[in-house]
Structure 1
C-alpha cells in the first residue's frame, strides 16, 4: 500500500482545520521534460522548503519535487508546537554524545526556535507565533524530576525561560485535574503550521526556486551529476537532499532502515465561548503531557480546542478518528463531553529508534535529514538550513547532527512494524498503569 494515497486523495490537502484556514500557494506545475539544477530537493515540508529558501538566498539554482502539495505531510498537519531542546532531554544527550556536543545540540535547538520566529515574522505572519509550552506530568512521581530538569537548564545551560510549575498552578493554567505539576517553557511556543509552510513556499519561489508539485520521484542514479526521475521528468542535479520524513515509503532504503512512519491524530472542536475556553487554557500556552503516547493540545485563534493524541502503526488511518482522539481528550477535559467536533484528521510522521533526527550523507553529494520523532517544527526548519549550509561547503553543523547515532530498526524494514507495535503496546499499558 502507498503511504501517499492510503488516506488521502492525490493533490488534495486533508480536511483539517489548518487546511480550512490557510490559503494555499500555487498550485505549482508538474515537473516535465529535462531539468537541470544545482540542487534537487525531494520533499516539500519544513525541511525541504527551508533548505530551498536558504539555498536560493545563497544563489543556488534549486528544483523542489513534491509528490503531493507543499506542506501536505506532517509539516501541515502537526500540533504546531515549537519546542526548545532536542527530542531527548539533555541528561540523555550528555550520556550519549558527551557534555560538549550535548551543549552544542542544545544551542542548535534554541537557534531552531528563533529561526521559526524569524521566518514567521518575515514570510508567514499569519502563522501567528504564540509563546509558551506547558509540560504537564500525569503522575505525581514525575514532578520532582521535571522540576530538577528545569533547574538544570537554569543553572548548567543558562536558560532562564523555563521554570517549575506546582500542582495547583498547573491545574489553574490548563483547567484539568489530570496533571500534578510540570514546567512552563516560555522560550517555546506554537504556530499555525500549514500557514508557515505556505509562507516558506512563497518566499522560496520569490527567490527563484522551481517548486514542482504532483511530481513523485520514481528513480535516482548516483554520480557526480545525480539523475532523478519522475513519471514525467528527468532532473540532473549536482546535489540532492532527501526530505520526505514519514512519507518516504521505500523510495530510499538507507533512510527507511532508520526512519519509520507512524500515524498521529488531531481533532478540532467547534469554537468555544471565550470565557469557557480561557478556563481550559488560561494564558494561551500549548500543552504537552508526560505520557509515552503524548497528548498535546492548545487553543486556536478562534477558540477551538485543538487536541492531538493516539497513534497507529499500519498504513490506514482508523475509520473513526473522532472517537479515537475524543477518548484521551475527555479524560483530561470531561467538560467538553457535549462539545461538537468540527474537524478530525491524521498524519504520518517519521520516528527513529532513539528519537533523535537522522542526518546523513548517503553519497558525497546526496544528503538526508528526517526522523524528527514529533519534534520537527523547529528542528526540521533548522535541518533544512543546515543541509543548505552543508551543500554550500559549510558542513560542521550538519555533520554534528549526523554524528548523533540513529540505529537501524532491528529486523530491518520488514520487521520494524511488529516490533514497534509490541513496544508501543507495552508503553501505552505502562501509561495506563
Structure 2
C-alpha cells in the first residue's frame, strides 16, 4: 500500500523511548535443555508475565518462554495508558454467558487497574505510575455520549472519581483548545509499561519462575503431558498457557485465524520546559479521543509528549512515521510544531472480530489468551488472574469468556486485511460526519 511499509523487527527491543529508559535490561538465558514444570507459559508480555506472577503466588512451578525479550511486543511499546474495562459491550453475549456473566465482566474491568495498583505497591515497581485520565470530545455528540456513559457507570456502582468537564473545566487537565469538553476518570491513569512488565517479571523470578528469553516456540506436542518445543530445548508440563497474542504467528492456526495483528505507532518529543508542560497537560493525565483511529497522548516522567495513533488494519507503518505523527500531534498542539522528536516506533496489537478478549482451551490442558483490540494494559492483568484461578480449580470467571464465540476473520490471509481496512475507512468517514 502506498505510503506504508513493513515494521522492521529484531530480536531486541524496538528503538523506543521505553527501551531507552528501562530501569533494567533483561538478559535471561535461552532454553537449551529439556526441562519440566507444572505450567509452561508461551509469551513474555503482560499476559504471560502476570499469569506467571499469579501462579507463582499460588505455589506453582512455572516456566516462561519468550521468543525475544520480556515485554518485547505490544506490552513494551504501547501508549502506557491504564484504562479500565474489558472488551466492548459484554451484554451482546448475555444469551451465552447469562446476566451474571455480563455483570462479572463489568466488575473485572474495574479490577484490572486495581491489580496494577496493588502489584506496583506490593513489589515496589518503579514505573512512573500516575492516576488520572480524560476522554475528550471533538463533536457535541461526544459530550452527550460521555454524559450517558458517566451515568451508566455510576448506576453500575463505579465509585471512581468520574466528572463531566465542560470546555473551560477541561482546560484544568488538557490545555488543547480543539476539544469541546471531556470525561475525567480518576480510576484510570498512565505509566511506563516496559518498566512495569520487567518489574513484574523480576517478581515472578524471585518467586521461582524460570524465565527463558530468545527461546522461540516452534511446536507443541499435545497429550496427557504436553511438550512445548523451542529451537534448542523443550518443556514438558501439566498445562500450557499460550499468551503470545499478535505475535503468535501460525504456531496454532486455529488461533491465528481469529486475531489480526494491527499496527499502532508512537512518537516521543524532546523533554519540554516546565512552562510548556503546564500549558499542554496541566493535569498530567492520559488522554484519548473517541474516534475509530483515535489519537492518544500523555506526558512521560521526564516531561516529553508521548503521542500515539495511526491505528490501521494493514499491519504496516507509515514510511515516514515521525513526520506523519508530528502532523497529527500539531493538529492538537500547534505549540509543538518545532520541537525535536527523539523517538518514533510502531508495533502490533491483536484485534478480534468482536472486540472481546479471546480465552479458551485446546484440548484438556492447553489454554490461550489473546485479542485485547488495543486496550490491553489493564485487561491483561485481570485475564492473567482469572486464568490462574481456572488452573487452581476456580474456572467460573474464565468460563464466561470461553463461552463467547470468536469467528475467524473472513477472507483468509489474502483478503482479511484489505476487507478490514475498508471497514475502518467506513468508520473513519462516520467520525467526520
Please indicate, yes or no, whether the TM-score normalized by the shorter chain is above 0.5.
yes
Count matched residues.
428
Moved over 4 A (4+): 89-99
Aligned to 1:339: 339
**Distance of 1:117 and 1:40 partners within structure 2:** 26
Any conservation in 2 of the 1:124–1:196 contact (CA below 8 Å)? Answer: no
Any conservation in 2 of the 1:268–1:306 contact (CA below 8 Å)? Answer: yes
- Deviation of 1:19 after TM superposition, in Å, equals 0.8
- Deviation of 1:96 after TM superposition, in Å, equals 8.5
Is residue 2:8 matched to residue 1:7? yes
1:220-299 equivalences in 2 (<5 Å): 220-299=220-299
**Distance of 2:189 and 2:203 partners within structure 1:** 22
| Cα offsets for 1:400-422 (capped at 9, x unmatched) | 22233433212344432121111
Q: 1:171 to 1:430 in 2, by over 3 A?
A: farther
**Distance of 2:77 and 2:375 partners within structure 1:** 13
Any conservation in 2 of the 1:147–1:182 contact (CA below 8 Å)? Answer: no
**Distance of 1:93 and 1:120 partners within structure 2:** 33
Aligned to 2:3: none
81-90 or 364-373: which moved more? 81-90
- Deviation of 1:270 after TM superposition, in Å, equals 0.6
Any conservation in 2 of the 1:46–1:380 contact (CA below 8 Å)? Answer: yes
Q: 1:315 to 1:151 in 2, by over 3 A?
A: closer
| Cα offsets for 1:27-53 (capped at 9, x unmatched) | 000011211111110000000000111
1:20-419 equivalences in 2 (<5 Å): 20-89=20-89, 99-419=99-419
Query: Matched residue of 1:126: which SS?
Result: coil
Query: Matched residue of 2:367: which SS?
Result: strand
**Distance of 1:386 and 1:156 partners within structure 2:** 21
| Cα offsets for 1:334-383 (capped at 9, x unmatched) | 11101111111111110111211111112211001111111111111121
- Deviation of 1:82 after TM superposition, in Å, equals 0.8
- Deviation of 1:278 after TM superposition, in Å, equals 1.2
Q: 1:98 to 1:168 in 2, by over 3 A?
A: farther
| Cα offsets for 1:194-245 (capped at 9, x unmatched) | 0001001101111111111111011111111111111101221110011011
Q: What's the RMSD between the two structures over aligned residues?
A: 1.9
**Distance of 1:164 and 1:233 partners within structure 2:** 55
- Deviation of 1:93 after TM superposition, in Å, equals 6.9
- Deviation of 1:319 after TM superposition, in Å, equals 2.9
**Distance of 1:15 and 1:319 partners within structure 2:** 16
Any conservation in 1 of the 2:42–2:244 contact (CA below 8 Å)? Answer: yes
Query: Matched residue of 1:37: which SS?
Result: strand
Q: Give the alignment's TM-score, normalised by structure 2.
A: 0.94
Q: Give the alignment's TM-score, normalised by structure 1.
A: 0.94
- Deviation of 1:170 after TM superposition, in Å, equals 2.3
- Deviation of 1:294 after TM superposition, in Å, equals 1.4
- Deviation of 1:88 after TM superposition, in Å, equals 1.7
Q: 1:99 to 1:143 in 2, by over 3 A?
A: farther
**Distance of 2:278 and 2:160 partners within structure 1:** 26
